[in-house]
A and B are shown apart, each in its own frame.
Chain A
């Protein structure tokens, strides 16, 4: 299938979904066949037309921008802080067998813990501002990056290490020129997951208690049973996540030029 044809099909599928949704929930278009009240379907599932109206309202009046900005800030901060911590501790434990043996059960336990329940505690510690959301995001991002870096350090090619040693690298230079680049490549390969997790942390944090952010908008709308706004918020978040993912893909391609892509011939 050609690229254009594929895109056209993908878009028409999306349109079809929304059309079906509208038809099934509109109180006037089709007589209700499940519920006796014509407004019941719209109450439970919302109406795409009203949903898009709400989105249009947000963007035309500009009220959504501060909320989006806050969510983006939280995501970015959680991602950066979580990655740096994961990288540093992953390198440390990867290179020190004693520390790794000592901390292993704790790391496993902390990773197994459902960390979303920490959100209220973070709110007590860091307040209702962005930092409690950043903290939640960090706990999610950290472990992904940590495990990847830890694995990356363990799997540095011994031949490359020996070669660098023979070329005269000191222990510090090995860390800087062999372990770190190798580990960083693992961080980048987990970029999609960790950016996604940072985003989840931000939104869940906002949802549980905040005064700004897209998660907050959704929470407020739910409070007043405004299902259309809830869906509008979800749609905006989804689109936003897609944009983030696209940006990550672009960045990945730039940063990992040295990496061979499997099964692909190299364009020179």
Chain B
């Protein structure tokens, strides 16, 4: 299998008020082409840092990132990024947000609009193109972000807890939609989440990170659940529960450690 993105001993250290802080340390990780990998870990463990490094928005302090065999320099042009918080341009309508990427690439307005209309329909937003982001619900904004990213047909999708702000029903709908879009045109996905159930339901592989600081992967689990999946139904299957048990066992100590650290930080 071709390797879509490869982290080689990536370490990220930030200068902080209380001395340097190492968010991730010696992370070595590979994501194959067309593979859906979820990264789970306790809160504040540097999951987003890892994604920013893969996107080329952040340079690692040491170590290298390669995509499709080439070392990454600058912004990763093969990757699309879906952010955790609001990332749409509020002054652009829904449709204009979706066309933005094509516009930046110099595509003609008419053809960009046609493609965007098509994508809006695919994410279930046809007829909402002229609304501004604040006129859309949280779920609709996420769909717009999804269309905005997918219209550029990136090889790698980087998703940073994209659905964490949604209610559980909308979230499961979005997860199913994501799986459907993904299976139609398999891309490599790094999906960051703190929700183990979401991670198992979506992925081919789940990577568990240790609590920060100096986060590193402490376990990898292949998810051998059959596809196509329905995220709501698959949670009830015995194999899912078995996997959940196994991974949760590996995670538990780290989650507790992470919780203890945040608590101490608050007290201090």
Task: List the interface of chain A (C-beta within 8 A of B).
Answer: 157, 159-160, 162-170, 173, 177-178, 181-182, 185, 257-260, 266, 268
Q: Which of B57-107 contact A (CB under 8 A)?
A: 57, 75, 77, 79-81, 83, 85-93, 100-101, 103-105
Contacting A177 at CB < 8 Å: which of B79, B85, B89? Answer: B89
Residue from the set A165, A168, A182 with the largest chain B CB neighbour count within 10 Å: A168
- A108 CA to B182 CA, complexed, in Å: 54
Least CB separation from B133: chain A residue: A258
Q: Quick one: closest A residue to B76, CB to CB?
A: A166
- The answer for the CA separation of A169 and B75 in the assembled complex, in Å, is 10
CB distance from B93 to the nearest CB of A (A): 8
Query: Per a CB cutoff under 8 Å, which of B87, B104, B133, B152 touches A159?
Result: B87
Q: Is B134 part of the contact surface with A, judged by Cβ < 8 Å?
A: yes
Chain A residues with CB under 8 Å of B57's CB are 162, 165-166
Partner of A181, one of B79, B91, B101: B91
* Residues of chain B contacted by A169 (CB below 8 angstroms): 100, 104
Residues A166 and B75 in contact, CB atoms below 8 Å apart:
yes
Shortest Cβ distance from residue A204 to the other chain B in the assembled complex, whole angstroms: 35
B105 neighbours in A (Cβ, 8 Å): 168
Provide 15 A-B residue pairs closer than 8 Å at the C-beta atoms, listed in order of the A residue.
A163-B83, A163-B87, A164-B104, A165-B57, A167-B101, A167-B148, A168-B105, A178-B89, A181-B89, A182-B91, A258-B91, A259-B90, A259-B134, A268-B131, A268-B135
Name the B residues within 8 Å of A162 (CB-CB): 55, 57, 81, 83, 87
Task: Please give, as numbers and ranges, the residues of chain B lying within 8 Å of A160 by CB-CB distance.
Answer: 86-90
Whether the pair B132, A167 counts as a contact (CB closer than 8 A) is: no
- B218-237: CB near A (< 8 Å → 1, else 0) gives 00000000000000000000
Quick check: B104 and A258 within 8 Å, CB to CB? no
Q: How far is the CA of A129 from the CA of B92 in the complex (A)?
A: 42
Interface residues of B (CB under 8 A from A): 55, 57, 75, 77, 79-81, 83, 85-93, 100-101, 103-105, 131-135, 148-149, 152
Determine the chain B residues whose CB is within 8 A of the CB of A157 once the complex forms.
Answer: 86-87
Query: What CA separation (Å) do A164 and B101 show in the bound complex?
Result: 8
Given contacts A166-B55, A166-B57, contact A257 B83 (CB under 8 A): no
* Assembled-state Cα–Cα distance A159/B101 (Å): 15
In the bound complex, CA of A268 to CA of B131 (Å): 9
A166: chain B residues within 8 A (beta carbon): 55, 57, 75, 79-81
Given contacts A159-B83, A266-B134, A266-B135, whether A165 and B89 have CB atoms under 8 Å apart is no
Complex Cα distance, B104 from A178, in Å, reads: 12
Q: Which residues of B contact A173 (CB under 8 A)?
A: 104
CA distance A260 to B104 in the complex (A): 26
Give the contacting residue for A165; candidates B75, B85, B93, B103; CB below 8 A: B75
Q: Say whether A168 contacts B132, CB under 8 Å.
A: no
> Which of A160, A163, A257, A258 counts the most chain B CB atoms within 10 A?
A163
Are the C-beta atoms of B100 and A177 separated by less than 8 Å? yes
A168 vs B90: C-alpha distance when bound (angstroms)? 18
Shortest beta-carbon distance from B254 to chain A in Å: 27
Q: Which residues of A contact B55 (CB under 8 A)?
A: 162, 166
Q: Bound state CA distance, A177 and B79, in angstroms?
A: 21
What is the minimal beta-carbon distance from B83 to any residue of chain A, in angstroms?
5
Residues of A contacting B80 with CB < 8 Å? Answer: 166
Closest B residue to A182 using CB positions: B91
Q: Are B104 and A257 in contact (CB under 8 A)?
A: no
Q: Is the CB of B81 within 8 A of A163?
A: yes
Bound Cα distance from A173 to B80, whole angstroms: 18
CB neighbours of B131 from chain A (8 A): 268
- Asked whether A168 lies within 8 Å of B134 as measured between CB atoms, the reply is no
* Contact residues in B for A164 (Cβ distance below 8 Å): 89, 100, 104
Q: Taking CB as reference atom, which chain B residue is nearest A261?
A: B134
List A contacts of B103 (CB < 8 A): 177
A167 touches B104 (CB 8 A): yes
Alpha-carbon distance between A3 and B89 when the two chains are bound, in angstroms: 37
Q: How far is the CB of B122 from chain A (nearest CB, A)?
A: 18
Contacting residues, chain B, for A257 (C-beta < 8 A): 132
Q: Give the 9 A-B residue pairs with the shortest CB-CB distance, closest first.
A: A260-B134, A163-B87, A167-B101, A258-B132, A166-B81, A181-B91, A168-B104, A169-B104, A258-B91
CA distance A266 to B85 in the complex (A): 21
Chain B residues near A260 (CB-CB < 8 A): 134
B83: A residues at CB distance < 8 A: 159, 162-163
In Å, the complex CA distance between A266 and B87 comes to 21
